[in-house]
Amino acid sequence: MNGTSSGSATLRAPAARRSFARPVALVGRSAAMNAIKSVASTVASRQCTVMILGETGAGKEMVARYIHAQSDRCAAPLIPVDCSALSDTLFESQMFGHVQGAFTGAVRESLGFVRAADGGTLFLDEVGELSLPLQAKLLRVIQERCVTPVGDTRPHQVDVRIVAATHRDLAAMVREGTFRQDLYFRLNVVVTTLPPLRERAEDIVPLANHFLQKQAELYDEPMRQLSAAAAGALQRHHWPGNVRELANAMESAHVLAQGECIELSDLPVRLQSPQPASAETPELCLTELERRTIAEALRRTDFCKAKASRMLGINIQRLNRRIERLNISTRG
């Protein structure tokens, strides 16, 4: 990876940071969301590390952005890092940066994610996906608050606030030996849990309207309203993909709707018919659904991981980690 790629922050003018100072709202009126807002508002003015727990797609990054926007660091950037996409070989360059000529392809100096977040917030998304060697390197940065770019010998002090998120049970991983206990305690200072969308039904319609408003602004069109039938269908759906699935559904409905109102027929087909849980079939846990989804993607692509990762919308490193964690066969 070279200094011009999106995987590592290149040196930029200080003016680029001003774009981060913008308002962020947490949409929802459920008791759970009100509790999240309360905790987020309280910790925003502090410097402590925050851990956000919740299922994939539940909105953990939005909570992190809300905390950052309410803090005195809001004029500096929040830098999101997808920990599942960090490779062992490029971790130091991606996180700590590199000097020009540090390796083949390093045609310019790169700040790296940590230094790019200096003065602001470093958001470590899916921190539970880091390998043990990478956990050790991350721990050192958190403890010492300095980084040494690849090809440099001078440590650079950094002032960053750490907000981390994961859908994994880190305490269980510590017991299993797959997550460092010392890093766990460093990250687990203030912990808040974001419930899945299916457990906060009161938030579904407000969130849907929020996403429809965003689409209206994007296309400079009047906001489309939800019909009673469409709103009812949204509230009946189980939302395995959480808020991310709802956002995608509203984007599709806005684009396809012919009138001023979102009708039931404008929603994705999977939302148009109620699918009550069968009394004879126990509800599948999230882990089993994930295992079946990955196994089916592998089967459909003749067990080609590259094709399966594209089908699932994840990178191949994340796919490999999940195959290993879920003990999925990769042979036809």
- Tell me, yes or no, whether 152 and 290 share the same domain: no
Sequence-distant (≥ 6) Cβ neighbours of residue 269 within 8 angstroms: none
Burial class of residue 160 (count of CB atoms within 10 Å of its CB; 0-12, 13-18, 19+) = buried
Question: Which tokens is 175 given?
Answer: 């017991």
- Tell me, yes or no, whether 234 and 249 share the same domain: yes
Find the mean pLDDT for residues 168-174: 94
Question: Which tokens is 160 given?
Answer: 């960053």
- Tell me, yes or no, whether 301 and 228 share the same domain: no
pLDDT for position 106: 63
The last residue of one of the domains, among 195, 217, 236, is 195
Question: Which tokens is 258 given?
Answer: 């012919």
Q: Which domain holds residue 212?
A: 200-272
Asked if residue 248 belongs to a domain, the reply is yes
pLDDT-derived band of residue 25, with 50, 70 and 90 as boundaries?
A: confident
Least confident residue range of 55-69, 193-207, 283-297: 283-297
d(Cα 86, Cα 224) in Å, to the nearest integer?
Answer: 40
CATH of the domain at 160: 3.40.50.300
- Tell me, yes or no, whether 36 and 124 share the same domain: yes
Question: Which tokens is 184 given?
Answer: 């766990």
Find the mean pLDDT for residues 232-260: 93
Count: domains in the chain:
3
**DSSP-derived 3-state class of residue 186:** helix
CATH of the domain at 306: 1.10.10
Asked if residue 332 belongs to a domain, the reply is no
Least confident residue range of 17-26, 31-40, 75-84, 217-226: 17-26
What is the helix (H) or strand (E) element at residue 138, kind and residue range? Answer: helix 132-144
pLDDT for position 113: 92
CATH of the domain at 251: 1.10.8.60
H-state helical runs in 97-131: 112-116
Whether the per-residue pLDDT at 7 is higher than 70: the answer is no
Q: What's the whole-number average pLDDT of the chain?
A: 85
pLDDT-derived band of residue 126, with 50, 70 and 90 as boundaries?
A: very high
Residue type, 55: E
- Tell me, yes or no, whether 234 and 320 share the same domain: no
pLDDT for position 105: 67
pLDDT for position 100: 61
- Tell me, yes or no, whether 71 and 50 share the same domain: yes
Residue type, 62: M
Cβ atoms of 37 and 194 within 8 Å: the answer is no
